[in-house]
């Protein structure tokens, strides 16, 4: 019953989203495009943008897509304006995926669903600032020649009873207003929308035990980031087909082949052998994928179908590249077997790409940590290249934290320490980031292998 409820919930979310953004759907990424993901800590330290990049590397190996992380922890749409040129537009992006809201909404004003007039006014003030800042970001990005995709914010978990942090019981309702503002502004500017807020809120509200958010209720869990990537890809209306082949065993002939090449078909002793070369790779099956796939139908985006018609009745061993991949009946092969998640050579290549994209993400993080403090310095009219002035400001900043917010001192001390250690290393950090990206591109290949179906 629970699985049926999830399917119904997802279908209702899909219908709602499709009806809302059918004319505003983002276009799939094209070869050579630069896509900047611009936002707060959910982007700064997150993986969703890299999972999107990973999907493109597996599905379209011939496309070299550059994904650039421009998230800054603690940032807002208003704060982002201070770094829009030096941190976002400097890359001359084709697309900017922009997601703000979690820090803009003023979470402390949503401790309860009811609010006095002063709190209501504060809420409205934050939303008004969010709207004007988002509008200005959209205008400036468009003026640069890039297109904007407004990503509605990932939810705040006001539904779980097991999280360790205080529950701001109406915060996600406030984020819903941010999402509505984002949709309105994108529509008015004739830009696209990628919907996260609505479908993810439905999932979290109905199934708080799914843990799409961490214990702080703010930052998505690893499965949450994978689910965000899923909804971003669905918003692009990407085909779910990795490859698809249909072979007539009796006639020793290919009936259909989509995104793959088949040759050297041979049958002997109730077995079938052929050379298989897919032009795409399946998405890698990692723990985050498995956890996310429990709640959203990832398999619909990961279809590598092998159909064998007219096999003699019985059970068969599937071998891919000489290694056992699974056991299936003649009836299952006649219906079509999805081999995307099986231990094939294809899946092994995808696992290498997963490791490589994690390296890309890790190489980018020290640069994002530098950008976080640079943004603070820019806002306070301090030149980050003036180390003496920057250090004086940062010492005063930490002293102020120690005095007025001691619970946050440890975190901020670490942030400042990392900044001081890494700011002079930017050239080597940039080179490392470029090298990891080049290695990621290098692995975007497919290879033929022999497939055997043995009775």
**Burial class for 327, CB neighbours closer than 10 Å (0-12, 13-18, 19+):** exposed
- The pLDDT of residue 270: 82
In sequence order, which residues have a C-beta less than 8 Å from that of residue 363 and are 6 or more positions away?
429, 432, 433, 435, 436, 437
| Cα R_g (the chain), whole angstroms | 25
What pLDDT is attached to residue 163? 67
Report pTM.
Answer: 0.93
Which positions ≥6 away from 387 have C-beta within 8 Å? 423
Q: What is the pLDDT of residue 155?
A: 97
User: Taking a C-beta distance cutoff of 8 angstroms, is the pair 226, 291 a contact?
Assistant: yes
How high is the pLDDT of residue 209?
81
Contact of 156 with 218, CB cutoff 8 Å: yes
Q: Torsions phi, psi of 258, nearest 5? A: -115, 120
Return d(Cα 292, Cα 222) in angstroms, integer. 9
Distant-in-sequence, close-in-space partners of 400: CB < 8 Å, separation ≥ 6? none
Angle among Cα 258, 355, 197 to the nearest 5 degrees reads: 75
Does residue 359 contact residue 449 with C-beta atoms inside 8 Å?
A: no
Q: What is the pLDDT of residue 64?
A: 96
Tokens of 145: 């020649």
**What would the CATH number be for the domain defined by 241-347+445-454?**
2.60.40
Distance, in Å, from the CA atom of 134 to the CA atom of 148, rounded to the nearest integer, reads 11
**Structure tokens that stand for 3 in this block:** 């699985």
Q: Where in the chain is the domain with CATH 3.40.50.1110?
A: 2-235
Token pair for 49: 């943008």
Question: Residue 269: how many CB atoms within 10 A of its CB?
Answer: 6
- Which of the listed CATH numbers 3.40.50.2000, 3.40.50.1110, 3.90.1150.10, 3.90.180.10 matches domain 2-235? 3.40.50.1110
CATH 2.60.40 domain residues, the chain: 241-347+445-454
Q: Within the chain, which residues score under 70 in pLDDT?
A: 1-23, 162-163
Tokens encoding 177? 């207003």
Q: What pLDDT was estimated at residue 448?
A: 96
* 49 vs 371: CA distance, rounded Å: 18
The DSSP H or E segment spanning 431 is: helix 426-442
Burial of 348 (0-12, 13-18, 19+ CB in 10 A): middle
> DSSP 3-state assignment of 264?
strand
Contacts of 368 (CB under 8 A, 6+ apart): 44, 45, 69, 71, 72
């Amino acid at each position: 019953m629970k699985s049926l409820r999830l399917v119904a919930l997802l279908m209702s979310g899909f219908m709602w989203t499709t009806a809302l953004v059918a004319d505003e759907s983002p276009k799939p990424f094209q070869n050579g495009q630069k896509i900047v993901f611009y936002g707060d800590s959910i982007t700064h330290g997150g993986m969703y943008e890299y999972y999107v990049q990973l999907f493109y590397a597996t599905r379209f190996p011939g496309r070299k897509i550059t994904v650039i992380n421009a998230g800054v922890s603690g940032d807002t749409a208003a704060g982002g304006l201070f770094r829009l040129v030096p941190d976002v537009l400097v890359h001359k992006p084709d697309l900017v995926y922009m997601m703000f809201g979690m820090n803009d909404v003023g979470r402390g004003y949503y401790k309860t669903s009811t609010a006095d007039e002063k709190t209501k006014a504060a809420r409205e003030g934050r939303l008004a600032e969010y709207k004007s800042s988002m509008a200005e970001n959209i205008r400036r990005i468009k003026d640069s020649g890039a297109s904007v995709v407004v990503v509605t914010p990932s939810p705040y978990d006001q539904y779980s009873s097991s999280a360790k942090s205080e529950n701001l019981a109406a915060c996600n309702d406030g984020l819903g207003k941010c999402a509505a503002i984002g949709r309105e502004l994108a529509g008015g500017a004739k830009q696209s929308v990628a919907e996260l807020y609505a479908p993810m809120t439905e999932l979290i509200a109905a199934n708080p035990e799914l843990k799409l958010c961490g214990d702080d209720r703010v930052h998505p869990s690893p499965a949450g980031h994978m689910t965000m990537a899923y909804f971003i890809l669905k918003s692009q209306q990407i085909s779910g087909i990795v490859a698809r082949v249909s072979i007539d065993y009796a006639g020793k002939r290919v009936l259909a082949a989509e995104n793959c090449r088949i040759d050297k078909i041979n049958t002997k002793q109730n077995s079938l052998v052929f050379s298989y070369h897919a032009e795409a790779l399946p998405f890698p099956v990692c723990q985050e994928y498995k956890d996310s796939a429990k709640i959203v139908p990832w398999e619909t985006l990961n279809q590598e179908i092998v159909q064998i018609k007219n096999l003699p009745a019985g059970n068969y061993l599937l071998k891919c590249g000489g290694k056992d991949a699974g056991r299936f009946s003649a009836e299952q092969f006649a219906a079509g077997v999805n081999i995307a998640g099986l231990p094939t050579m294809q899946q092994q290549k995808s696992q290498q790409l997963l490791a490589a994209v994690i390296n890309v993400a890790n190489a980018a993080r020290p640069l994002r940590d530098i950008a976080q403090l640079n943004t603070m310095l820019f806002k306070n009219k301090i030149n980050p290249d003036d180390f003496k002035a920057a250090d004086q400001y940062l010492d005063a900043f930490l002293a102020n934290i120690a005095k007025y917010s001691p619970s946050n001192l440890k975190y901020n001390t670490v942030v400042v320490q990392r900044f001081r250690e890494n700011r002079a290393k930017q050239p080597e950090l940039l080179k490392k980031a470029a090298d990891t990206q080049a290695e990621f591109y290098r692995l975007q290949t497919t290879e033929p292998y022999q497939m055997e179906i043995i009775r």
